[in-house]
Copies of this chain bind each other. A is one copy, B any other.
Amino acid sequence: MSVEAVTGEAWGDITPDAARRLVIAAVQAFAERGYHATTTRDIAGRAGMSPAALYIHYKTKEELLYQISKVGHLRSLAMLAEARDSEGSAAERLATAVRVFVRWHAEHHTTGRVVQYELGALAEEHHAEIVALRRQSEDAIRSIIKDGVTAGEFDVPEISGTTLAVLSLCIDVARWFNPLGRRTPDEVGALYADLVLRMVRATD
């Protein structure tokens, strides 16, 4: 799976058409108002159907959130794992990971907002599953940083803390990114890759 395929528009492979329209509507609504402030009537309305039609495709409103959260987290993990497993120095791989991850959070900041900030609304078992995926993402970043330290490429105060900070920095892009602002997703990705390399004092 290429980075481009991963960063491409999501939801394309959800069928039938009505189910896909519902997910897209739910992402927009959840991102704008938050999960709890969004009504099933609103989601159905945005998707162009009656409230009852939602329940033919999804058992509950929470299942919609779960679907969105799962797809988003799998996508994030795929991006980070691919960067970790790619060729090149630790600095190159870390820069790629941050650039791609940040670009995705900027480009798909509505999806990102739901994925990163609404997971508290998930049912307990779904929440546990998502948390496991998040831990894997964290491990991917930590692994690259550890490689860099081992190879003498990086100099960090603490591997775990630095990992947390890098991840946090990238994730929070979904919160503040504004598509009408000055910066394009590509520019934010490049800027953040630079800043992160500075944080680990990469020797290029």
Contact = CB atoms under 8 A, between A and B. Distances in A.
A164 B176 CA distance: 9
A157 B194 contact: yes
Contacts of A175: 117, 168, 172
| Number of copies of this kind of chain in the complex | 2
A67 to B, nearest CB: 20
Contacts of A162: 191, 195
Interface in A116-161: 117, 120-121, 157-158, 160-161
A37 B118 CA distance: 12
Interface in A67-126: 117, 120-121
A165 B33 contact: no
A41 interface: no
A59 interface: no
Contacts of A36: 34, 36-37
B183 A173 contact: no
Contacts of A120: 33-34
Contacts of A191: 157-158, 161-162, 165
Contacts of A176: 164, 168
Contact of A34 (B34, B160, B201): B34
B195 A157 contact: yes
A198 B194 CA distance: 11
A161 B187 CA distance: 10
Complex A-B, nearest 8 residue pairs according to Cβ-Cβ distance, in ascending order: A36-B36, A36-B37, A172-B172, A168-B172, A161-B191, A195-B199, A198-B199, A169-B169
